[in-house]
């Protein structure tokens, strides 16, 4: 009897919606009740990962709007899949939903299009929250790998069967490599948090429906100086983890020193998926959003600030 990987692609038609925009088809899902938050997923994700990352905020009484970025799942991959165009696609989604202004949360490589949204459309972005932001801010590729690591990752991400096989045989290795999180932490967290790590791995299937987005993320995240972080004019919270193997703690510190009045939270451990700290991250974000004056108009950007 042959062993075949599961075929989860059909679940998306029931769990998400699609709309036609300037850049083609855009997929999204909405869950929960309360004030809306735009949750922008990271590499290897889609609307499903966005919903997972927003689960803690739903428990705080917020509604999560989770789009699939360019090249992920049922969202098209346009000729120019830039962070700027992705930000404009978010505006089209908000227009479709009748939402004028809301907080935007960008995780990992999703932080790039979240920043672009805040820069291009500050009147639509009440707050900016960056989680473990993967960006080249100092000439260092945040997901730089050796030639051997790149070969292995390309093979795993190039095939649903190869990924499923690796997920079945060596899930901890994938957690250490793809999720940039020390697998030893799995034995130190609650069962629910442990299950969350494995769910993130499972949600990457089918990788064949995400691979164009993954490759585009790698290209955008490795490009140095791609975004004018100094010009961000909305209140910003940056959250990272000290032991993130992608080195986003250093990126977060740089951004906090660059973005005017940005607030910085560095958690001691949890890796790139903040393993064991999901409640703490949701609490930091919810507190930031609920502060008095959080919905104030955007500031004038400071275009000539010197460090």
- Tens of pLDDT along 4-18? 454 544 455 568 999
The answer to whether residue 300 sits within a structural domain is no
pLDDT digits (tens, 9 = 90+) for 171-230: 999 999 899 999 999 999 999 999 999 999 999 999 999 999 999 998 898 888 779 999
Structural domain including 61 reads 11-290
pLDDT (0 to 100) of residue 306: 27
| pLDDT of 120 above 90 | yes
Q: What is the mean pLDDT of the chain?
A: 89
Distance of CA 183 to the CA centre of its chain: 21
Paired tokens of 260: 């005017």
Q: CA-CA-CA-CA torsion for 58, 181, 90, 304, nearest 10 degrees? A: 110
> Is 306 part of any domain?
no
Tell me the per-residue pLDDT of 93-107, one tens digit each, with 9 for 90 and over. Answer: 999 999 999 999 999
Locate tokens 């275009």: which residue? 303
When comparing pLDDT for 222 and 50, which is higher? 50
**Mean pLDDT to the nearest integer, 241-254:** 95
| Average pLDDT rounded to a whole number, residues 237-266 | 96
| Residue 53, domain member (yes or no) | yes
Look at residues 152, 119, 132 and name the one whose alpha carbon lies nearest to residue 53.
Answer: 132
CATH code of the domain containing 227: 3.40.50.1820
Kindly state whether residue 57 falls inside one of the protein's structural domains.
yes
In terms of Cα–Cα distance, which of 68, 54, 44, 2 is closest to 167?
A: 44
Which DSSP helix (H) or strand (E) runs through 141? none
262 in a domain, yes or no? yes
Query: pLDDT grade, residue 302 (50/70/90)?
Result: very low
DSSP per position, 232-295:
--S-EEEEEETT-TT-HHHHHHHHHHHSTT-EEEEESS-GGGTTT-HHHHHHHHHHHHHSTTTT
pLDDT, mean of residues 78-88: 97
The Cα–Cα gap between 78 and 279 comes to 36
Contacts with 173 (C-beta within 8 Å, 6 or more apart), sequence order: 166, 183
Per-residue pLDDT tens for 130-163?
Answer: 999 999 887 776 766 666 566 667 778 889 999 9
Counting the structural domains of the chain, the total is 1
Q: Are 300 and 233 in contact (CB under 8 A)?
A: yes
* Confidence band for 304, pLDDT divided at 50, 70 and 90: very low
Residue 298 within any structural domain of the chain: no
* DSSP codes, 236-248: EEEEEETT-TT-H
In a domain, 299, yes or no: no
**Residue 5 within a domain:** no
Query: Computed from CA positions of residues 34, 255, 217, 24, in that sequence, does the dihedral angle turn out positive or negative?
Result: positive
Query: Which two three-digit tokens encode residue 26?
Result: 């855009």
Does the pTM surpass 0.75? The reply is yes
């Amino acid at each position: 009897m042959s062993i075949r990987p599961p075929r989860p692609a059909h679940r998306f038609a029931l769990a998400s919606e699609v709309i036609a925009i300037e850049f083609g088809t855009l997929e999204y899902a909405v869950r929960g009740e309360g004030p809306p938050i735009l949750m922008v997923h990271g590499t290897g994700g889609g609307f499903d990962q966005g919903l997972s990352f927003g689960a803690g905020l739903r428990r705080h009484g917020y509604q999560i709007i989770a789009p699939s970025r360019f090249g992920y799942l049922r969202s098209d991959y346009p000729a120019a899949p830039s962070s700027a165009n992705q930000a404009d696609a978010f505006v089209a989604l908000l227009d479709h939903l009748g939402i004028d202004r809301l907080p935007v949360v960008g995780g990992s490589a999703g932080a790039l299009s979240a920043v672009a949204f805040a820069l291009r459309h500050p009147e639509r972005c009440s707050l900016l929250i960056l989680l473990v932001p993967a960006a080249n801010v100092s000439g260092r590729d945040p997901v730089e790998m050796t030639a051997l690591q790149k070969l292995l990752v390309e093979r795993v991400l190039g095939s649903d069967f190869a990924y499923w096989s690796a997920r079945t045989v060596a899930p901890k290795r994938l957690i250490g490599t793809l999720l940039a999180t020390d697998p030893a932490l799995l034995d130190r967290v609650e069962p629910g948090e442990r299950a969350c790590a494995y769910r993130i791995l499972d949600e990457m299937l089918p990788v064949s429906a995400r691979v164009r987005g993954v490759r585009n993320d790698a290209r955008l995240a490795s490009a140095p100086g791609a975004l004018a972080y100094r010009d961000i004019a909305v209140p910003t919270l940056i959250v990272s983890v000290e032991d993130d193997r992608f080195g986003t703690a250093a990126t977060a510190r740089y951004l906090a020193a660059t973005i005017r009045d940005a607030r910085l939270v560095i958690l001691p451990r949890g890796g790139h998926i903040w393993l064991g700290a999901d409640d703490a991250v949701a609490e930091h974000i919810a507190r930031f959003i609920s502060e008095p004056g959080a919905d104030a108009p955007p500031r004038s950007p400071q275009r000539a600030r010197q460090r």
